């Protein structure tokens, strides 16, 4: 018998087996990211590098997919795995939820992941991309 989150409660009795703030009933036994770990035991159910505990069950981009299962939580065309949990423009919104990560007035969707000026900083994070 497993106690995935090591809280002293066996998983079959635990309402949140991985302690990510999302109930096992909501997460279910699916393995969304194909890593061999069912979502109710997986602390990163979409394998984007951002813990489910941070992403939660909200739906930021209105696509009907909760953030903990969405690989592009803000719908800007840039994968959460690339945007990560950083806050480039320090506006209090992590890049994976920010539609303009560098706050330069150009949306991330337009700038994308290219590096126009070849300085090693993708345009969506670069204040001077040319």
The pTM (predicted TM-score) of the whole model is 0.91
Beta-strand runs (E) in 39-111: none
Specify the DSSP class assigned to residue 56: -
End-to-end CA distance of the chain: 57
3-state class percentages of the chain: helix first, strand second, coil last, to nearest 5? 20, 0, 80
Per residue in 57-95, pLDDT tens?
999 999 999 999 999 999 999 999 999 989 999 999 999
Take residue 52 and report the two structure tokens written for it.
């489910």
Cα–Cα distance between 69 and 47 in angstroms, integer? 9
């Amino acid at each position: 018998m497993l106690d995935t989150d090591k809280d002293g409660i066996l998983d079959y009795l635990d309402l949140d087996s991985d302690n990510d703030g999302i109930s096992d009933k909501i997460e279910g036994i699916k393995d969304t990211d194909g890593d061999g770990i069912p979502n109710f035991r997986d602390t990163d159910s979409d394998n984007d590098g951002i813990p489910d505990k941070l992403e939660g069950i909200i739906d930021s981009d209105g696509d009907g997919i909760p953030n903990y299962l969405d690989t592009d939580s803000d719908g800007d065309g840039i994968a959460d795995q690339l945007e990560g949990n950083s806050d480039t423009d320090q506006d209090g919104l992590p890049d994976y939820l920010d539609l303009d990560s560098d706050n330069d007035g150009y949306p991330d969707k337009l700038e994308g992941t290219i590096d126009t000026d070849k300085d090693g900083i993708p345009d969506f994070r670069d204040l001077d991309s040319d």
